[in-house]
Amino acid sequence: MNLKEDYVMNRRGMFLVVAMAVAGVLLSAFSASAAPFRIGHHRSVMGAVTIVAHKMGYYNQTIGKGKYTIKQFAQGKLMRQAILSNSLDVGGAADRAFYSAISKKANAPGIGNANYWCKANKILTSPKSPVKTLHDLKGKRLGVGKATGTYFTLTTFILPEYGLSVNDFTTVNMNNDTRMAALKSRTVDMIALNNPQAAIAIDRGYARTVETFCKYANNLWIIMANGKTLKKDRDVYTQFLRGFIRGMKLHRDNRDKFARVYLNHLQSKGSKIKLKIVKASVNDLTFGLLPSEADYKWFDHMGKVLLKKRKAKRTVDLRKEGMDLSMVKEAMAAEGWKN
């Protein structure tokens, strides 16, 4: 091989290396852009803001049209598991499920408090039942999901205030969608149910409220992030939170429109719910994106109980660990939203 041929071969080799590097960069960029941001929302009222923000096109404005997907979940713990298994990028979970995950050093930080849901969580009984307070649960049958934050909060923080324990009644483990029928058929004497399902039962005359959780447990619904996605693309979480805040603004400024958009979503899922029920459900939501000191004290108290019950690996000070509120603060500033 002469010098000219050697020069040509070297040039070709260099060109091939550069071409392969450029192709790799382009493929990486394409893969990143091809992977949509995966949003989860709860089918009960705790997920109302997320789905309304989607239906109003707020995420199209902040994240970009076609750059995200949205999926409905029946339980917060299922969203938490989806995040931990890397099949979801953002979702919500009850305070207990969130704390338990963080105690195990899960890579799923809380990035804000979506709402307080204690008013939406109700203990119901039949309209003609002699039951007046939770004192009357003794010797009765309660329909509830045993592996839920509702059951944990009820049995751990609320029933002890009435001098009751799990040994004083029979727990009938059942999903949300079977509890109303169980109450109607008298399979159970009382049920635990969230809005809007609870509001539907009350409106149809199937049930009346015995108690909400607010007196003893002002529960938070924590927005959880997928730590792997967060490390790669922090900005998309700020964009998501900006869209979420726009949904909160609609709830604040035009409650009727918010309720109607949420109603359309519920009807698209097969519900025959009435507008007045939806309005009652969304009226029960209160907001505080940044947890207060009272919220952190609630977590401190909960953590000690969880550890004692072996539901947590350790206690965690969420003021210092497990929460990343920098993005929600940026989103609040950009949207002009005050806590």
Cis amide prior to 196 (ω within 30 degrees): yes
**How confident is residue 3, by pLDDT bands cut at 50, 70 and 90?**
very low
Rounded to an integer, what distance in angstroms lies between the CA atom of residue 147 and that of residue 159?
17
pLDDT at 95 over 60: yes
Mean pLDDT of the residues in the chain = 90
Instruction: Tell how strand 37-42 and strand 68-73 pair up.
Output: parallel
pLDDT digits (tens, 9 = 90+) for 203-242: 889 999 999 988 888 889 999 999 999 999 999 999 999 9
Q: List, in order, residues 6 or more apart from 145 with CB less than 8 Å away.
A: 75, 151, 173, 174, 175, 176, 192
Q: Which of 23-32, 58-67, 214-223 has the lowest mean pLDDT?
A: 23-32
Going from the N-terminus, what domains does the chain have, and what CATH number goes with each?
35-117+219-335 (3.40.190.10), 121-212 (3.40.190.10)
Q: Which of 31-35, 173-177, 234-238 has the lowest mean pLDDT?
A: 31-35
pTM of the model: 0.82
pLDDT at 145: 92
pLDDT at 217: 85
